[in-house]
Amino acid sequence: MSRIQLVVFDMAGTTVQDHNEVQRCFFEAADATGLKADPKKITAMMGWSKRLVFETLWQQQIGGDHPHYLHRVETSYQAFKHILENHYRTQPVLPTAGCLDVFDWLKSQDIQVALNTGFYRQVTDIILERLGWDRGLDKNYVGTTDSVIQVSVTPSEIYGNEGRPAPYMIQKAMYLLGIKDPQAVVVVGDTPSDLEAGINAHCRWSLGVTNGTHSREQLELYPNHGLLDSLSALKDKGIADPRDGFNCETPSNSNRSRPVHPLNQQSQDKIAKV
């Protein structure tokens, strides 16, 4: 059994506090640009690449073959970016409860920390800088054992800006850190797309936290290897020594159909964008 070498965390709602501010930014942008945004649909798409959310909503509203489809997607997306960036520049940006303690604990166990997100690179950089998590990262957003995180990956670094639930951001983080075995990787997030990305990447464990944007009842509908009440509970799950962890070789709800994305040529092409 491979030793755990890397934990890949989501950002907003998992490691960065989000009290529905991101959703409010979506709704504000939608309202300003004539897009109908159903709260349930927005919640279901949390964790996706943000542009993909607007593409999906506009396709549902007017159809992808509408002559103004691309223009309306771009208009809504640019409005959202302006609102979101202003939010993260002007409002408090804080780690979630227990996050930094978990990072320190993982470092003490010689386990690396990666962050991935549905955010594009520009706003991710704002968040990292506000938190001081950008210190020690190089031009490829790879850090050292002394930096708070060891790598940051966004859809902007993936060909076609393809985010979750595809596995490519996880695979990109593995590639940048020289980790070849997905069974040495744990994924943690607060949305269904986080869980699905971990499953699709064939990671050892794909874990959900239930104190973010989705409840336990919402997350347990999706394949997962365990649901945590908080990030702090990660330390009790045998991450440092999987022999002591919970038995989760087969994810719960594993009968739910899902795509599989092994690290084949397509995956290598996707993550080789940068």
Classify domain 6-17+94-271 by CATH architecture.
3-Layer(aba) Sandwich (3.40)
- Cα separations (Å) of 81 from 77, 99, 160, 240? 6, 26, 18, 38
Q: What is the DSSP string of 245-264?
A: S---SS-BTTTS------SS
Place of tokens 């945590």: 228
**Helical H runs in 96-191?**
99-108, 121-131, 168-177
Edge-first strand order for the sheet with 6-10 is 151-153, 112-116, 6-10, 185-189, 205-209, 226-228
Alpha-carbon dihedral sign for residues 131, 132, 133, 134? positive
Given this model, what pLDDT does residue 266 score?
A: 64
HSE-up (13 A, CA, CB side) for residue 209: 27
- Tens-digit pLDDT profile for the chain (274 aa)? 789 999 999 999 999 999 989 999 999 999 999 999 888 888 888 888 889 999 999 999 999 999 999 999 999 999 999 999 999 999 999 999 999 999 999 999 999 999 999 999 999 999 999 999 999 999 999 999 999 999 999 999 999 889 999 999 999 999 999 999 999 999 999 999 999 999 999 999 999 999 998 999 999 999 999 999 999 999 988 787 655 554 455 677 654 444 444 455 566 666 765 4
Please state, in angstroms and rounded to a whole number, the distance separating the CA atoms of residues 142 and 61. 40
